[in-house]
Structure 1
């Protein structure tokens, strides 16, 4: 972690020893710096983050990487590259149950898991800054996916259930009117539920790369 701390003191990327110019090339130990764009939540603008884990989210017709990023102040966010558009990525903040209850009326939030539900207002708590929107609309409901703690960018998860180490979940997805701010929900077979506030970003949201090697 001393490497990570030292980089926070630098104002410009070092001469790279590896060609790192896109989020799709990140490996564990790399560091990125986010821009000061107003498209980013204010808490993470101009902040540096280190890649500390790489996972894979798998759905029926695609799988894509998910990077766990750690900030200088022990802030954690997730960066994902869904779909085939390599010019965009998503940053997600995982919510605690308390934060979910602050942000939403839990009775209304529970309706997200029911067929026919379409709209969810938020209660706009100041504590979560500007990660969230005032209103969300349903898009995906109970889409089956698998969560792998493995980087499958150079291969693919097994198509055979008995050889597939992924943890199965049902995926629920909502977006705001501009489709820039999202809610992603993963409900596992055990009943564990992960809730994320997500923002859509372009590659120009990253202003610096520091490859580990």
Structure 2
């Protein structure tokens, strides 16, 4: 009987292999390096993929993985691909934090078409320093002004997002990007219709900062 079962029995499906960011699905988990080069919100954290979004631009699109860990902080992960590939790890900060990190007059220049913003990080102390210090460069220069795109709360890897004006075309926005002198960190700003504005602090890190992958159920 055991022999017959081995012939006619149902074979187990092979487990999904997961070893690269680009293959992450909702429910998968990663663990990050415990290096002190990483901010506390990232250092040694185990993070679960809660959602996958898509940024659509005129000639490209980019996936964003929304991650959460035990602290319930939200981390946004994407791939920055140029000559080499890097992890792009971001957190959103409210206006109350923006005004503690930067001079608001300098910050407002980001949105002025005839000027190029130069942003200097203010001196930080106490809890603000411990929470945000490692996310920040000393000085930033503007690299991108009002790049138009659509934000989709869906995963469109390998597909073209909807183009029909009557369909789910996503949320239109304009993107602004400032890089620090070493191009290891960034300040990203997204302005949506109605004036809603998201400000992100971003770090660019090597792919090896992800130590382990675990496929979801």
Query: Is the shorter-chain TM-score for this pair beyond 0.5, marking a shared fold?
Result: yes
Runs of 4 or more off by more than 6 Å in structure 1?
none
- Is 1:150 aligned to residue 154 of structure 2? yes
Q: Which runs of 5+ in 1 are unaligned?
A: 1-15
Q: Quick one: distance in 1 between partners of 2:182 and 2:25? A: 31
In structure 2, the residue matched to 1:50 is: 48
- Is 1:209 aligned to residue 213 of structure 2? yes
- Structure 1 residues 8-87: aligned runs within 5 Å: 17-83=15-81, 87=85
8 Å CA contact 2:106, 2:117 repeated in 1: no
- Is 1:102 aligned to residue 106 of structure 2? no
Which entry has the higher C-alpha Rg, 1 or 2?
2
| TM-score normalised over the length of structure 1 | 0.87
| TM-score normalised over the length of structure 2 | 0.85
Distance 1:85 1:57, change over 3 A: farther
8 Å CA contact 2:118, 2:140 repeated in 1: yes
C-alpha deviations, 1:87-124, integer Å up to 9, x for none?
32200010011111111111111111112223111114
In the TM superposition, residue 38 of structure 1 has moved relative to its aligned partner by 4.5
Q: CA RMSD in A?
A: 1.8
Q: Which runs of 5+ in 2 are unaligned?
A: 1-13
C-alpha deviations, 1:1-35, integer Å up to 9, x for none?
xxxxxxxxxxxxxxx93110001111111110001
C-alpha deviations, 1:119-164, integer Å up to 9, x for none?
1111143142310111100000011011000100031113444435
Q: How many residues align?
A: 198
